[in-house]
A and B are shown apart, each in its own frame.
Chain A
């Protein structure tokens, strides 16, 4: 059974600082997704990572995938308040449904 673990679950960051969210999964994966969810809102797709060594960047967010370590990271550079949200990773391992991590609630404070 595929298990997806994110850490930390809660993260309070100062504006301008860098930090990394980690996503570990337990079986081989076809693709890995990162989503963002604002309070009371739905999930917004951020990145899809398809292969070992894949790196995607959008603004202050950069996601990477290491399939050998079964690890993806979401790196936040010079955090700003607008990045405050909950971030989920989700893993697709073929003919099984997406399995989501518990989410990382990020709060960026001045």
Chain B
């Protein structure tokens, strides 16, 4: 059974640009969560989606947005990139929110220059 996949794996952008990251959950999983990981702040929750609806949103500015499609695949977008957005962005999926272990993808390493 394939795991969570994320594309692209690495990205280099410059300040002011925007970026879209993609996540395909494990087959059958309908809940997708996104996290930002940085050395200073650790793992911070960004969003959670279930059945195309955003259930929770973390304490991030409106430049961070996301969505989930009917096939449970999810995307997140960051507009007007800042240097501080450089991080590893992790996607995790589970069958249902709140009740199941989340399985993490390999992450997208975003570098903002």
Chain A residues at the B interface, C-beta cutoff of 8 Å: 30, 33, 35, 41-45, 48, 88, 90, 92, 94-103
Contact = CB atoms under 8 A, between A and B. Distances in A.
Contacts of A43: 90, 92, 104
Contacts of A90: 43
Interface of B: 33, 35, 42-43, 45, 48, 56, 58, 90, 92, 98, 101-107
A97 B90 contact: no
* Main SS class of interface, B: strand
Contact of A94 (B92, B98, B104): B98
26 contacts: A33-B101, A33-B102, A35-B104, A42-B90, A42-B105, A42-B107, A43-B90, A43-B104, A44-B104, A45-B101, A45-B103, A90-B43, A92-B98, A94-B98, A95-B56, A95-B98, A96-B56, A97-B33, A97-B48, A97-B58, A98-B33, A98-B45, A98-B102, A100-B42, A103-B42, A103-B43
A102 B98 contact: no
A30 B104 contact: no
Contacts of A99: 45
Given A42-B106, A92-B98, 17 more contacts: A35-B104, A42-B104, A42-B105, A43-B104, A45-B104, A90-B43, A95-B56, A95-B98, A97-B48, A97-B56, A97-B58, A98-B45, A98-B102, A99-B45, A100-B35, A101-B42, A103-B42
